[in-house]
Amino acid sequence: MGQFVEGVWHERGFPVDSKGSFVRAKTTFHQKSLSEEQERYHLYISLACPWAHRTLMTRKLNGLDSVISLSVVDPFMDKEGWFFSKAEGAIPDPLFNARTLGEIYLKADPNYTGRVTVPVLWDKSESTIVNNESREIMRMFNRQFPKLSKKKIDLCPARFENEIDQVLDEIYEPINNGVYRSGFAKTQEAYDEAVTDLFDALERWERHLAHHRFLVGDQPTEADISLFATLIRFDLVYVNHFKCNIKRIVDFPALWGFVRDFYQIPGVKETCHFGHIKEHYFRSHEKINPTRIVPKGPVLDFDAPHLRDNL
C-alpha cells in the first residue's frame, strides 16, 4: 500500500496522528453533478471495501447496472495498491486496460497527490475522475438519474433528506470509520477510545432498531446502506482482524435482525462477496496479520428469517 506524491508512488502505511489514532485522508474529487446519459460513467470499486459497497448497492437498487459500467479490483491490495486481475469476482478495466487503479488516478491528474482509494467514478466524456467520495456518489446515483433509474425504493426521499444526512454524520465516526480506528490504532489508548466509542454507538442503534425497522422513516435509505456496509463485515472480519470484539453483531438481536433484513432486500445479496471481503482484510494488512492466513469461519446465516416485517 502507499500513495502518490506529485504523481510518484511512495510505499506508505495508513496515516496516524501523534496519539497513534488512525486518520482517514480526505478525498480529492468532488464534482457533485452528473449528466443523465447512458453509459457515460464508469464505477471502479472493490467488493471488499464498505465505502465502495455503498455505491455498488445504490447502483443496484436504482437499477443502474446497464447505465453505469463497472470494474472490480482484485481483493488483495499489494505494495502498488489496488490492481486489476482475473480473480473470481474481479472485473478488469475495460477503458484503458490499466494494471493498477493508480493509473486511473494519474490519467485524471498526472501530478496527483494522495491515496488511491475506491470507489472512483470516471467520466468517459470528460476523461477524468468525477468523484471519489462514496457518500457523494451514493447521493448522485439516488438523485441524478430520474429517467434512467428503475428504482423500486427511493433511498433518499426529499422529506427525509435532512434526517438521513444527520444519521450519516452520526454513524460515520464511531461506526463506519470506528472499526478502522480500532484496527489501525497504533497505541492502546487510541484503540481503547475507538473501540469504546464504537460499542457505545452500536448499543445506541441497537436500542433504536429494537423498535424501528430502519434508521430513518419506514423504508430503507442511504443511512441503512451505510450502517449495513459496516455490519455485514463485522463478524466476518472486524471482530478478529480489527479487535472489535466486545460483542459480535449476532449478540445484538436488533442489529443482527437488521443485517439479515437488509441483506434479503432483492438485489443486495448479489453485491455481497464474502470471499473478497475476507481475503482483502486478512491478506492485505500484513502488519496486523503477518501470516496472511484467512480464517475459515464464522458460519453466519444471513438468509435466516429476520422477523422484522411488523416493526
Ligand X SMILES: N[C@@H](CCC(=O)N[C@@H](CS)C(=O)NCC(=O)O)C(=O)O
Residues that bind ligand X (CB under 6 A): 1, 27, 49, 51, 81, 115-119, 133-135
Of 49, 156, 244, 272, the active-site residue reads 49
For ligand X, which is the closer residue by CB, 115 or 241? 115
Residue 70 grid cell: 463497472
What CA–CA distances, in Å, run from 215 to 3, 75, 207, 212, 219?
36, 30, 11, 7, 9
For ligand X, which is the closer residue by CB, 180 or 263? 180
Q: Name which of 276, 282, 281 is nearest 294 in CA terms.
A: 282
Strand 120-123 and strand 128-131: pairing?
Answer: antiparallel
CB of 120 to ligand X, least distance (A): 9
CA distance 184 to 174: 14
215 neighbors 202 (Cβ within 8 angstroms): no
CB of 49 to ligand X, least distance (A): 3
Residue count of the chain = 311
CB of 237 to ligand X, least distance (A): 11
CB of 103 to ligand X, least distance (A): 15
Q: Is the peptide bond before 298 cis (omega within 30 degrees of 0)?
A: yes
Task: Give the position of cell 484496527.
Answer: 183
For ligand X, which is the closer residue by CB, 135 or 181? 135
Of 44, 180, 238, 263, the active-site residue reads 180
For ligand X, which is the closer residue by CB, 134 or 257? 134
For ligand X, which is the closer residue by CB, 62 or 260? 62
Strands (E), 34-185: 41-45, 69-72, 114-115, 120-123, 128-131
For ligand X, which is the closer residue by CB, 51 or 122? 51
Concerning whether 281 is annotated as a catalytic residue, the answer is no
Where helices occur in 77-133 by DSSP H, the ranges are: 101-108
CB of 197 to ligand X, least distance (A): 18
Concerning whether 180 is annotated as a catalytic residue, the answer is yes
Residue partners of 148: CB distance under 8 A and separation at least 6: 36, 38, 64, 67
CB of 20 to ligand X, least distance (A): 18
254 neighbors 248 (Cβ within 8 angstroms): no
CA distance 229 to 304: 19
Give the catalytic positions in this structure. 49, 180
